[in-house]
Amino acid sequence: MLYTIVMMVCMSAMPQTCEQREEMADGLAMNPGVAFMQAQPLVAHWLETHPGYFVQRWRVLPGRSS
């Protein structure tokens, strides 16, 4: 199922500087709770590829597109 991972990301050097990022994720389970667990590694991968940021909060929304 298609989901959008919505993250509030902030700069590590300036924690008050935050923005919302959306990443599409396909192939997650239809059950929202399971999809949330499956999305955790995708959020971790985003953090690994975006040094200097941290994720303040995130959520998974079904069927949403940017």
List Cβ neighbours of 64 (8 Å cut-off, separation of 6 or more).
3, 4, 6, 22
Quote the pTM value: 0.86
Let me know: does 11 contact 53? Beta carbons within 8 Å: yes
Classified as helix, coil or strand, 20 is strand
CB atoms within 10 A of CB 64: 13
pLDDT digits (tens, 9 = 90+) for 6-63: 999 999 999 999 999 999 999 999 998 999 999 999 999 999 999 999 999 999 998 7
